[in-house]
């Protein structure tokens, strides 16, 4: 049964480099979700591993910790019916059209579950710059 839930979307550095922010937000509007909140975050290097603990120790983690904290990143919170599933599907669509396969700088991040939303949202608010 469909349910209303919150989902988040984090713009990663490549979204800015490829100037796709407006395109992504325009596409989100077609999902019929309400934008609940928008703010910016600046990652401390350890923040990368808080959000993505499975990547710790990989050969490219040093370059990742340098790339993500380089600038403040936009976070959006959306709410609506099956918001998490719909944002994930849209994120995958944008990635497949605009990002190299297996790129760690793959344009966007979204939560995978309600539990992830709560954990990630709390962390993002704790490092928010605006």
88-105 pLDDT, tens per residue? 999 988 888 887 665 555
Residue 47 — very low, low, confident or very high, per pLDDT cuts 50/70/90?
confident
**What local confidence, expressed as pLDDT, does residue 60 receive?**
57
Whether 87 is covered by a domain: the verdict is: yes
Its pTM stands at: 0.85
Whether 6 is covered by a domain: the verdict is: no
Domain residues for the domain of 85 are 18-126
- Tally of domains in the chain: 1
Whether 1 is covered by a domain: the verdict is: no
Q: Which CATH number do you get for residue 25? A: 3.30.70.141
Mean pLDDT highest for which of 20-24, 35-39, 57-61?
35-39
Whether 82 and 2 have beta carbons less than 8 Å apart is answered as yes
Whether 108 is covered by a domain: the verdict is: yes
Whether 94 and 103 have beta carbons less than 8 Å apart is answered as no
- E-strand ranges in the chain read 4-11, 34-41, 73-81, 108-110
Using DSSP bridges, classify how beta strands 4-11 and 73-81 pair: parallel, antiparallel or unpaired.
antiparallel
Its sign, for the CA torsion 50, 16, 86, 61, is negative
Whether 10 is covered by a domain: the verdict is: no
Whether 52 is covered by a domain: the verdict is: yes
Whether 12 is covered by a domain: the verdict is: no
Residue 12 — very low, low, confident or very high, per pLDDT cuts 50/70/90?
confident
**What local confidence, expressed as pLDDT, does residue 61 receive?**
66
Whether 77 is covered by a domain: the verdict is: yes
């Amino acid at each position: 049964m469909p349910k209303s839930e919150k989902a988040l979307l984090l713009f990663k550095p490549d979204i800015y480099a490829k100037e796709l922010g407006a395109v992504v937000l325009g596409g989100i509007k077609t999902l019929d979700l309400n934008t609940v909140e928008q703010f910016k975050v600046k990652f401390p290097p350890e923040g990368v591993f808080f959000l993505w603990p499975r990547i710790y120790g990989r050969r490219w983690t040093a370059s990742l910790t340098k790339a993500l904290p380089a600038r403040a990143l936009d976070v959006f919170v959306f709410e609506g019916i099956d918001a998490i599933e719909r944002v994930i599907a849209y994120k995958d669509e944008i990635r497949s059209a605009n990002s190299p396969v297996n790129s760690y700088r793959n344009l966007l991040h979204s939560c995978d579950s309600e539990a992830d939303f709560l954990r990630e949202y709390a962390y993002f608010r704790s490092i928010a710059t605006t």
